[in-house]
Structure 1
Amino acid sequence: MLVLVTTVILYVFGFVFLYGVIRLGVRHGMEDVEAQRAQVARAEQLASLQDRTFARENAFLTGS
């Protein structure tokens, strides 16, 4: 009987632990996605600024 109770307790705590680990992993993954999204947006703005600067400095290449 003691073995059965111990097994059930370890089984339940195992699932609780697994749930916590998965939840923590998903949370960190979502934070990484948000950080990456901000970096991509910043890179797009920088590329756009560089394109406009290049076009302004080399207007003879743009056909304007």
Structure 2
Amino acid sequence: KRAEIIDIPQSDVLKCFFRDGSWYAIRPSGTEPKIKIYMSLVGEDRAEAEEKLGRVKSVIFEKIEQVIK
């Protein structure tokens, strides 16, 4: 993995892109004390996309748990 510094406007959203066009975004709710997560995952078929969804969700939730502990 190669890190790259880019000059972008500041925001409260973290959006990550995958090479296959999939992505997820994490942001705080503007009205409630919670985190919102949005995802768009690409697969050859629905089953593959759902399997990828499960993997990505697991990693995201694991990282969130590490941060809030």
Q: State the TM bucket, normalised to the shorter chain.
A: 0.3 to 0.5
Identify, as 1 or 2, the structure richer in strand. Answer: 2
Larger Rg: 1
Structure 1 or 2: more helix by fraction: 1
Q: State the TM-score, normalizing by the size of structure 2.
A: 0.36
- Which structure carries more relative contact order (alpha carbon 8 Å, separation 6+)? 2
